[in-house]
Amino acid sequence: MSSGFKEYMNTRSINFTDEELSMIVDAATVTVVKKRQLLLRAGEICRYKIFVLTGLLRMYGIGADGEEHIMQFTPAMAWITDGESYNNRIPSNYNIEALEDSHVMLWTKESFEELVKAIPSLKRFSDNLITQYLNVSRNRLYKTISATPEEKYNYFLENYPGILNKVPLRMVASYIGVSLKTLSRIRQAQLQRV
């Protein structure tokens, strides 16, 4: 399993030595998360940086109206955490849940900070990931406030290929911020044009 993580790390612009990669892997806890199992529950403090080796996770919150609002899907070979809760040790507003049985790597704040001290390039790598995530979040926010429902759906398909077949349509509707009825209408119209 960790060989997939090492390959992922080697495809990034920062070159880690084999020793550094081994240190990063050894500091992680590799575990299986069952479908519907929560890695983080709203109200708890996020204790881990999470890397998904296989499977699919989501981060979501529950609005005052009781509706789920999906903030992020995280497929294999990607990271997820609630950065605010993790860094500031405050209760999270979000849940992180496995949408299918998943293998994940977990780093506690303490273990990751020790790694950053021992491997300075890991700090640069982490900063690059945060910058990428901020850019993705900014682009998503812009799409949410400026795009038509069909443009939002197409943006989702471009950025999350293959996920549509793995999650209920209501989750896609939640993620892109449209009603299930609207999303069904968009999909039907696109199928008729084909």
185 located within any domain:
no
In-domain check, residue 172: no
Q: Using the structure block, give the residue that is written with the tokens 């790597």.
A: 105
Question: Is residue 86, in this structure, part of any structural domain at all?
Answer: yes
The residue type found at 87 is N
CB contact at 8 A, 10 and 74: no
For 67, the token pair is 């509706």
Q: What are φ and ψ of residue 17, in 5° steps? A: -75, 165
Give the residue ranges of the chain where pLDDT is below 50. Answer: none
175 domain residue, yes or no = no
Domain total in the chain? 1
pTM value? 0.92
Q: Assess if residue 21 is contained within a domain.
A: yes
Domain ranges, residue 95: 2-119
Residue 162 lies inside a defined structural domain of this protein: no
In CATH, what number is assigned to the domain containing residue 47? 2.60.120.10
